[in-house]
Amino acid sequence: MVFKTKLTELTGIEHPIVQGGMQYVGVAELASAVSNAGGLGLLTALTQPTPDALRKEIARCRTMTNKPFGVNLTFLPAITPPPYDEYAKVIIEEGIKVVETAGNNPGKYIKMFKDAGIVVLHKCTAIRHAFSAQRLGVDIISMDGFECAGHPGEDDIGGLILLAKSAKKLNIPYIASGGFGDGRGLAAAIALGAEGINMGTRFMCTVESTIHQHIKEAIVQADERQTTLVFRPFRNTSRIFKNKIAIEVNKREKKPDLQFEDVRELVAGSRGRQVYTTGDPDYGVWTAGQVVGLIDDIPTCKELVHRISAEAEDILTRQVNSVIVKESKL
């Protein structure tokens, strides 16, 4: 089964499934495997320590696949921000055809990418943000529901409402993100008007994902209650795996005079990165979506993508047709 949607037409992929851009996870091994499976693999630009390292990772990915793949570039508030201009320049110079942007104030970079003829997907957690991205000229919105890993925004609106409202309000295509991991999700997203799905956590738990096997097994063993929200008091909410560190962060966040210094050492990015290399799920904080409750195996990317497409096809054809009864004409 090969789907034909606006996502597949714009990006040249076979199946309307995008691998989310994930810090420390979106590297060549995973991105190439997703693309080889017929989806859209994404390298995460800021996982690479320098723009030159990103250039080398793009070249490495090209040795692993001749299918379309893209790059995620996320703009985050920071006292000393990364050299975004240089990362964007590498993406353009290397001839990347698809970019996923996310975060704050992306307008300058969206213009740069569009001027270079690049297809731009932009992640949003609210309809008002999608309107802004639409005005900036992005090609596709990736609408992120409250179920998602990472930053779900501050409105706490689930995907069911966001996707249905996107169909009513947006003038450009959109895909569904947050809570997707199987064919039922893809079929539901298409029924709600989306042109495909974006999956992050589900792709973490595949053979080609380079994170430690113990973390993949922790995801398989978890249920949908095994995530929590942190940084709510700072209005920078993030959904992470509910481990011992996360529980301690939540406890400290109840302090009436809370300062970020109270949790800084617990949430250090260096500790989170080591989770993926050491395999200790309690060593630091790491992102995971509520979709962990739907994950019960560790397939190859090809097995996963093809299974999801087949399940969605079955639901959208045989199962839907079985419940529709045409009224007979007398």
- Establish if 297 belongs to a structural domain: no
- The C-alpha atoms of residue 205 and residue 214 are separated, in whole angstroms, by 10
Residue 326 is predicted with a pLDDT of: 75
Is there a contact between 19 and 34 (Cβ–Cβ < 8 Å)?
yes
- Establish if 66 belongs to a structural domain: yes
- The C-alpha atoms of residue 123 and residue 140 are separated, in whole angstroms, by 9
In this structure, the answer to whether residues 157 and 203 fall within a common structural domain is: yes
Q: How many domains does the chain have?
A: 2
In this structure, the answer to whether residues 10 and 113 fall within a common structural domain is: yes
- Establish if 221 belongs to a structural domain: no
In this structure, the answer to whether residues 141 and 276 fall within a common structural domain is: no
Residue 328 is predicted with a pLDDT of: 64
Residue 289 is predicted with a pLDDT of: 98
- Establish if 140 belongs to a structural domain: yes
In this structure, the answer to whether residues 53 and 107 fall within a common structural domain is: yes
DSSP symbols for 242-282: --HHHHHHHHHTT-TT--GGGTTTTS-HHHHHHHHHH--TT
- The C-alpha atoms of residue 257 and residue 239 are separated, in whole angstroms, by 23
- Tell me: the pLDDT tens digits for 107-121? 999 999 999 999 999
pTM for the full predicted model: 0.95
Q: Which residues pair with 143 in a beta bridge?
A: 124, 176
C-alpha neighbours within 13 Å on the C-beta side of residue 284: 17
- Residues of the chain falling short of pLDDT 70: 1, 328-330
In this structure, the answer to whether residues 185 and 248 fall within a common structural domain is: no
In this structure, the answer to whether residues 183 and 267 fall within a common structural domain is: no
Residue 64's domain spans which residues?
6-211
In this structure, the answer to whether residues 112 and 248 fall within a common structural domain is: no
The CATH number of whichever domain residue 40 belongs to comes to 3.20.20.70
Residue 212 is predicted with a pLDDT of: 98
In this structure, the answer to whether residues 151 and 254 fall within a common structural domain is: no
- Tell me: the pLDDT tens digits for 292-329? 999 999 999 999 999 999 999 999 998 777 888 777 66
In this structure, the answer to whether residues 18 and 161 fall within a common structural domain is: yes
Buried b or exposed e, range 117-138, using 16+ CB within 10 angstroms: ebbbbbbbbbbebbeebbebeb
In this structure, the answer to whether residues 145 and 237 fall within a common structural domain is: no
Residue 76 is predicted with a pLDDT of: 85
- Establish if 86 belongs to a structural domain: yes
In this structure, the answer to whether residues 15 and 92 fall within a common structural domain is: yes
